[in-house]
Structures are given as structure tokens and as C-alpha cells.
Amino acid sequence: MIRFLFVSLPLLILFLIAIAFGAMNNTPVTVDFLAVQQQVSLALVAALFLALGFIIGVIAMLARQFLLGREVKKLRKQLVKTSTP
């Protein structure tokens, strides 16, 4: 129950705020891709860039976690090597 309150409830609140933001910002904007101009809603552009930023952040976090895991393995090997007579 506590996990629900601290994880699910804030996510639900953020989701509802995002829905309200999208409903209020449905004006079309022109987005220039490399060779194509496209009119899409402002909420869609904001959601796409939010998702892109989230994906880049997760990739950066996973890369750091991978490097830290390798360092932990190296230090454990050193510890075993120094503690063995």
C-alpha cells in the first residue's frame, strides 16, 4: 500500500497534468523536418520531445550504471586477491 502511494499516485497525478496540458495546447504549429514541412499540434511536439529527452536520459543512466558495475567487479577481484593469503 505504501508503495502505491509513493510510486503510483505521483505518476497518476503527472499523467493527469500531462493530459490537461495536451488538451489546452492543441493549436497546430508548423514543424520543419529536413525536407518536409508538417503541421502538428503543439501538444504532440511537446510530448515527442519529452519522450526523446526521457529516452536520452535513460540511455545515459544505463551507460553510467554499466561503467559502475564494471568498476565494482574490478574492485571485488582486487579485494579477493588481497585478502587471500
CB of 12 within 8 A of CB of 20?
Answer: no
Span 40-48, average pLDDT: 87
The Cα 56–Cα 58 span in angstroms is: 6
| Angstrom distances, CA of residue 17 to CA of 3, 24, 73, 84 | 21, 11, 42, 57
Residue 85 has pLDDT above 70, yes or no: no
The fraction of the chain above a pLDDT of 90, given in percent, is 35
> What's the pLDDT at 68?
94
